[in-house]
């Protein structure tokens, strides 16, 4: 079967660094995406990893290890506005089409 696991909640303080892990089990894997969703809002794309290694975009970085079926999102210099839910999504090939399998999301609370 196909599954994703990520922690349900993470708490951190302003200025700190937090890592949100995502482990997956799937066939036809082609990439791992991360999305941010503020309460009730539209999910917005943060990053994408197709190959092993670290991708850095400003304060956010994302890592992938295909051999370990594992990735993480690293948020540095946390700000209050980073309080949101973070979803990992695994891209899988299904015949002639690709689809995204979504995790249940990690609720990040950034405290003063």
Partner 1 sequence: DSGVTQTPKHLITATGQRVTLRCSPRSGDLSVYWYQQSLDQGLQFLIQYYNGEERAKGNILERFSAQQFPDLHSELNLSSLELGDSALYFCASSPDIRTPNTGELFFGEGSRLTVL
Q: Considering the complex, what minimum distance in angstroms separates the CB of residue 8 from partner 1?
A: 9
Q: Considering the complex, what minimum distance in angstroms separates the CB of residue 104 from partner 1?
A: 4
92 and 27 Cβ atoms separated by less than 8 Å: yes
d(CA 106, CA 58): 20
If one asks whether residue 54 binds partner 1 (CB under 8 A), the answer comes out as: no
Choose, by CB under 8 A, the member of 7, 19, 74, 91 that binds partner 1: 91
Nearest to partner 1 of 67, 96 (CB atom): 96
Candidate ranges 11-19, 21-29, 69-77, 95-103; the one touching partner 1 (CB under 8 A) = 95-103
Complete DSSP assignment for 6-64: --SEEEEETT--EEEEEEEE-SSEEEEEEEEE-TTS--EEEEEESSSEEEEETTEEEEE
d(CA 23, CA 70): 4
- Locate tokens 């599954």: which residue? 3
The count of residues interacting with partner 1 (CB under 8 A) is 24
If one asks whether residue 74 binds partner 1 (CB under 8 A), the answer comes out as: no
Q: Interface with partner 1 by CB under 8 A: which residues?
A: 31-33, 40-45, 48, 50, 87, 89, 91, 94, 96-100, 102-105
């Amino acid at each position: 079967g196909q599954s994703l696991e990520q922690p349900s909640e993470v708490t951190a303080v302003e200025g700190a660094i937090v890592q949100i892990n995502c482990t997956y089990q799937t066939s036809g894997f082609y990439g791992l995406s991360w999305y941010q969703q503020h309460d009730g809002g539209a999910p917005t794309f943060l990053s994408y990893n197709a190959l092993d290694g670290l991708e850095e975009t400003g304060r956010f970085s994302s890592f992938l290890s295909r051999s370990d079926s594992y990735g993480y999102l690293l948020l540095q210099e946390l700000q209050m506005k980073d309080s949101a839910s973070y979803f990992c999504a695994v891209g899988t090939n299904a015949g002639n089409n690709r689809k995204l399998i979504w995790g249940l999301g990690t609720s990040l609370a950034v405290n003063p």
